[in-house]
Amino acid sequence: MRTIYQISFRTSLKGGTAFQTIHDALKKLNISHWTYDIQRLLLVLRSDFPDFTQIQKALYTTGLSCSFIKVEELRL
C-alpha cells in the first residue's frame, strides 16, 4: 500500500492564466490528478510527496496565486 497526499489550495486565476499552463507545471512535478472548482476557487491535487511548498512555487510561476489549505494522507 502506498501513501498519496491530497493537497488543497484556495486560488485566484490572474488574467491570461490558462489551465494548460497549470497542467504543464504540475506535470513536471509528476502530478497527474488535479481538479479545479471554478465556483469555489479551489484547486485539489494528489501527489506522492507531501511537500506542498514545491507545488505552490510551481503554481506561482504559472501566474496562479494560491494559499495552502490542507494536506490529507490517503492510503491507496
What gap in Å lies between CA 75 and CA 25, rounded to an integer? Answer: 25
Res 49: pLDDT: 81
Which of these, 34, 33, 42, lies nearest to 12 by C-alpha position? 42
Res 34: pLDDT: 93
CATH number of 3-75: 3.30.70.100
What gap in Å lies between CA 36 and CA 40, rounded to an integer? Answer: 9
DSSP string, 15-29: TT--HHHHHHHHHHT
Res 35: pLDDT: 93
Q: What is the pTM of this model?
A: 0.82
User: Can you list the residues of the chain whose pLDDT is less than 50?
Assistant: none
Per domain, the residue ranges of the chain are: 3-75
